[in-house]
Amino acid sequence: MSSVASVHSLWTAAAGAPGKIPGPHIEYAQLSPTLIVLGAAVLGIMIEAFVPRRSRYYSQLLLSLVALAAAFAAVIGLAAAGFGSSKAHVAAMGAVAVDGPALFLQGTILLVSLIAVFTFAERRLDPAAHGKHVDSFAAQPAAVPGGAAEQAAVKAGFTTTEVFPILLFAVGGMLIFPAANDLLTLFVALEVFSLPLYILCALARRQRLLSQESALKYFLLGAFSSAFLLFGVALLYGYAGTVTYAGIAEVVSDGAKQIDPALAGTMSNDALLLIGGALVLMGLLFKVGAVPFHMWTPDVYQGAPTPVTGFMAAATKVAAFGALLRVLYVVLPGMRWDWRPVMWGVAIITMLGGAIVAITQTDIKRLLAYSSIAHAGFILAGVIATSKDGVSSVLFYLGAYSFVTLGAFAVVTLVRDAGGEATQLSKWAGLGRRSPLVAAVFAVFLLAFAGIPLTSGFAGKFAVFKAAAQSGAGWLVVVGVISSAIAAFFYIRVIVLMFFNEPKAEGPTVAVPSPLTSTAIAIGVTATLVLGLAPQYFLDLAGHAGVFVR
Amino acid sequence: MNPVYYLYLAALLFTIGAAGVLIRRNAIVVFMCIELMLNACNLAFVTFSRLHGNLDGQIIAFFTMVVAAAEVVVGLAIIVTIFRTRHTASVDDASLMKL
């Protein structure tokens, strides 16, 4: 009697008295960052239900900030207790890894979301409607834009304070995503952070049609790609008979030595492994925004409310690259020679495609979207290195890049005209004459994107390209440097536009933000300069965090 | 009956779903095709579970159903708000943003 038949009897007939089912052993303390954030999100929903409308904004803001700060403290505590290095292990019955890369990325995501909450909460930029301050989100997103219901909602001073718990749910998913240690957790985490983002995209106060359109595109394409990821998971499960990363990696590297003859048809069938691996990578590359899975990026970045775009551009990229690294380095290291050429190709077309198409853009948000695609390509160059240096350079790059992105989008929210944000690039002409400070800050971010020395962008790019070159990907680095040069062209073009062109008469004004957005931008600039001038401490930190647990 | 046939069926359903997403123009139908793809995944999971003789695949199928249900909630909300704004659910009409 084969083992297959005996296990089948588990569900075909009562195979004897049901034994005791051992309860799972969950290390709650080690999962505390995620649990704090998700708990606060649930609490936020309760606040929406029970707290009177006038005090919701402050209670939600306070709750979000406290929860994210507490979760960050928990990450620091775990790292200080040695879970990032010596005590790294797999928690929650093999579902979640607590190790260096996971803690580093979780810390980055939490800091980024903390700053994103500041930009979400900004209420001074839009002119007050009916004497009440309003934020970037629709008064009542379910109402038809411009309809009677919406006008009544605006008049009553409603605001969508639900954005804070929705943001927290997304952050919770993002915290699990890079730490997921089996493919089921990976898929569930992907959906947990994607679904709130789809909603957030549809909530813009101004230009709601664009906003809803971006949500529709993001949702349909995101669901499409996650279906591919799920089918890949199914095929990998068919290949290995398990969905844990370590289990699949074992079957990949050893082949299955003593397998049941009944399983010989599926177990360790290379077609399942190759197609399944490719589909899972496809789903992850979609979230990363790599060419040829980048089509959603410009539309979604342009249409979504700008604070959401900033959050999404920064935090999603960190989480998705974390998951991509773990899948490639923990699950599929045994088939490195199969995926490396593919990723080479993807990295090259992503770098070149993003940089070249960005040149033709006339909208600042679309320009930043294509620049984020190009940056995904640069980060992929570090992913391909398949070395410890590769991992830590990617970690550092993600940390540096996310603060620059968040700051840049925060500046975009400030430049406004009668129709809301003035995202047309032509309207930015001469901004440096009118508001030198804002233009100078934006120039710092652009220089960091371009990778000019003394900014964090240079330190990150240098680390990534160095790791790639050391692993023998010399040509990739050459392509990377060329596309950096192309990218530098359009970043510098914006700077020239801001400082050396005459301002137009009907140009936009720069709104004076509340301390919230000012703080967000100030943190962005500080991080950009500190990581650029003295990157060594943070490079060491990323270097120590560069080992995955199996 | 050879359980591998169910895998072929799963692959076929998945392909039909994927082709539908690319071809159909109504957002609701596109969305239904995505659900078809998810269900094809479920069939594959359950079949592999039977082949391997462990229960992982069946458990995952339950998770997929829950995720699919959550996706329906969010997806239909977005499609309905768009429909109320534009009085159409065609994905071709959602083209305010072009290169």
Domain ranges of chain A: 27-126+162-544
Overall average pLDDT of the A347-351 stretch? 96
Residues of B in contact with A267 (CB under 8 A): 52
Overall average pLDDT of the A7-33 stretch? 76
Condensed to tens digits (0 to 9), the pLDDT of residues A91-121 reads: 988 899 999 999 999 999 999 999 999 999 9
In this predicted structure, what is the pLDDT of residue A1? 39
Q: Is the pLDDT of residue A264 over 70?
A: no
Its pTM stands at 0.94
CB of A231 less than 8 A from some CB of B: yes
CB atoms within 10 A of CB B87: 9
Residue at token pair 């998810």: B38
Q: Which residues pair with B26 in a beta bridge?
A: B90
In this predicted structure, what is the pLDDT of residue A418? 84
- Residue B9, in any domain of the structure: no
Percent of chain B with pLDDT over 70: 98
CB of A220 less than 8 A from some CB of B: yes
- Residue B12, in any domain of the structure: no
Domain enclosing residue B55, as ranges = 25-86
- Residue B11, in any domain of the structure: no
Angle, vertex CA A333, rays to CA A313 and CA A275, nearest 5: 75
Overall average pLDDT of the A352-372 stretch? 95
SS3 of residue A445 by DSSP: helix
Condensed to tens digits (0 to 9), the pLDDT of residues A130-163 reads: 888 888 899 898 889 888 999 999 998 888 999 9
Overall average pLDDT of the A2-26 stretch? 67
Q: Is the pLDDT of residue A369 over 50?
A: yes
In this predicted structure, what is the pLDDT of residue A508? 87
The 3-state secondary structure of A212-276 reads HHHHHHHHHHHHHHHHHHHHHHHHHHHHHCCCEHHHHHHHHHHCCCCCCHHHCCCCCCHHHHHHH
Condensed to tens digits (0 to 9), the pLDDT of residues A299-347 reads: 999 999 999 999 999 999 999 999 999 999 999 888 888 899 999 999 9
Q: Is the pLDDT of residue A495 over 90?
A: yes
Using pLDDT thresholds of 50, 70 and 90, give the confidence band for residue B95. Answer: confident
Condensed to tens digits (0 to 9), the pLDDT of residues A394-415 reads: 999 999 999 999 999 999 999 9
- Residue B99, in any domain of the structure: no
Q: In what order do the strands lie in the sheet with A509-510?
A: A420-421, A415-417, A509-510
**A–B CB contacts, 8 A cutoff, strictly below:** 146
In this predicted structure, what is the pLDDT of residue A341? 92
In this predicted structure, what is the pLDDT of residue A237? 95
Overall average pLDDT of the A280-293 stretch? 95
In this predicted structure, what is the pLDDT of residue A228? 97
Question: Is A7 within 8 Å of B53 when comparing Cβ atoms?
Answer: yes
- Residue B29, in any domain of the structure: yes
Domains of chain B: total: 1
- Residue B16, in any domain of the structure: no
- Residue B79, in any domain of the structure: yes
Cβ-nearest to A223 among B34, B94, B99: B34
- Residue B62, in any domain of the structure: yes
